[in-house]
Amino acid sequence: MDNPFYSGTVAVIGLGYIGLPTAVVLASRGVRVIGVDVNPVTVERVARGEIPFFEPDLATSLSGAVALGNLTTSMETPVADAYIIAVPTPITPNEEADMSHVFAAAAALAPQLRPGATVVLESTSPPGTTEELSRTLAAARPDLTFPNDVNDSPDIFVAHCPERVLPGRLMVEMVENNRVIGGLTPECAERAAELYRVFCRGEIQLSDATSAEMAKLAEKMPGGKLPAGMPGMGSSLPPTMPKLPPNFPGAPGFPGLSGKFPGLPGLPGLGKKK
Ligand SMILES: NC(=O)c1ccc[n+]([C@@H]2O[C@H](COP(=O)([O-])OP(=O)(O)OC[C@H]3O[C@@H](n4cnc5c(N)ncnc54)[C@H](O)[C@@H]3O)[C@@H](O)[C@H]2O)c1
């Protein structure tokens, strides 16, 4: 019980297929969770302990967490010790990732940040997004330090933890799956890992943010193979995440492709209802 998040508050932004089960498993383990969504119907239903969509075992856990008072909801982003962003990142007709929901969520949470807070991006995102998220938050909060600017002990910790669950088994896989957690700095990865250790029984592998973003996209590739000579990863994560080659679209410093998936064939619409 020495995990600091047991005595803190976690805001889960986006109460969909990913965010709601995440909020529920955290709240079921005694963490105070505030679920945030822009959809008032979702916010009201979840506050009453009612599931907005069917998923095995979600209803019982949700109603229990609400009855215990560990899970409340809001349309406003609150002050919290940690934020998990689980909003949609659908593919546009131009085959770009629509990151507008992620950056809308960032705009809403920036004014609430306090020193020591951890921000985890769970939404499936193009490489470089976590760093862009940190830069966006830093621009909104010049009074705080962020890991895109300082390596040691920033005020705010920013990391990416891609979600790998399959619908129909969300409540099991959320807890049992291995996870890769990529921080903008090693300290950011460790802070985020502490949050997931509240409920994750799978192996938690620490990495950097770009590798974590790539790991998720690679898993979505047909055959689990990365383009341009990157190693295939199948459905399990390798012991160490590959570094992006400098000329890979989306790699830090590669010009002009921020916010775009590099034309991944077969990549399903992300964040769309199944
Ligand atoms: N569904 C899956 O099986 C699955 C699996 C792995 C990863 N993912 C990824 O997880 C992310 C979320 O997907 P999902 O399936 O949970 O989406 P979803 O559409 O089920 O839910 C997203 C929720 O976010 C809310 N939302 C949108 N903008 C918001 C904002 N600015 N602030 C607060 N709430 C907002 C929506 O109202 C909705 O309730 C996506 O990036 C997706 O690719 C999904």
Comparing CA positions, the residue from 250, 231, 44 lying closest to residue 130 is 250
Mutating to test ligand 1, I would choose from 12, 15, 18 the residue with most ligand atoms within 8 A of its C-beta, which is 18
With beta carbons less than 8 A apart as the criterion, state whether 117 and 82 touch.
Answer: yes
pLDDT value at 186 more than 80? yes
What is the rounded average pLDDT for all residues in the chain?
A: 84
Atom 10 of ligand 1, residue of closest alpha carbon: 123
Q: Which residues pair with 205 in a beta bridge?
A: 180
pLDDT per residue as tens digits for the range 91-140: 999 888 999 999 999 999 999 999 999 999 999 999 999 999 999 999 99
Residues 6 or more apart in contact with residue 94 via CB below 8 angstroms: none
Atom 44 of ligand 1, residue of closest alpha carbon: 271
Question: How would you classify the pairing of strands 179-183 and 157-160?
Answer: antiparallel
Q: Which atom of ligand 1 is nearest to the CA of 272?
A: 19
Write out the two tokens for 51: 């599931």
Q: Quick check: pTM over 0.75?
A: yes
Atom 24 of ligand 1, residue of closest alpha carbon: 14
List of domains in the chain: 4-224 (3.40.50.720)
DSSP secondary structure string for all residues of 34-86:
EEE-S-HHHHHHHHTT--SS--TTHHHHHHHHHHTT-EEEESSPPP-SEEEE-
With beta carbons less than 8 A apart as the criterion, state whether 84 and 46 touch.
Answer: no
Task: Give the pLDDT score at 222.
Answer: 61
From ligand 1's centre to the CA of 21, what distance in Å? 11
Task: Give the pLDDT score at 165.
Answer: 93
d(CA 207, CA 205): 6
Task: Give the pLDDT score at 151.
Answer: 80
Could you give the 3-state DSSP secondary structure of residue 153?
Answer: coil
Does residue 272 or residue 184 have the better pLDDT? 184
Ligand 1-lining residues (CB < 6 angstroms): 13-19, 36-39, 42, 86-89, 101, 104-105, 122-124, 163, 165, 167, 270-271
274, burial (CB in 10 Å: exposed 0-12, middle 13-18, buried 19+): exposed
Rg (CA), the chain: 17
pLDDT value at 233 more than 60? no
CA separation, residue 1 to residues 12, 37, 125, 189, 229 (Å): 21, 29, 32, 20, 44
Phi-psi region of 14 (alpha: psi -120 to 50; beta: other; left: phi over 0): left
Mutating to test ligand 1, I would choose from 12, 13, 17 the residue with most ligand atoms within 8 A of its C-beta, which is 17
For residue 207, the Cα-to-chain-centroid distance in whole angstroms is 14
From ligand 1's centre to the CA of 86, what distance in Å? 5
Q: Residue 221 — very low, low, confident or very high, per pLDDT cuts 50/70/90?
A: low
C-alpha count within 13 angstroms, C-beta hemisphere, residue 200: 20
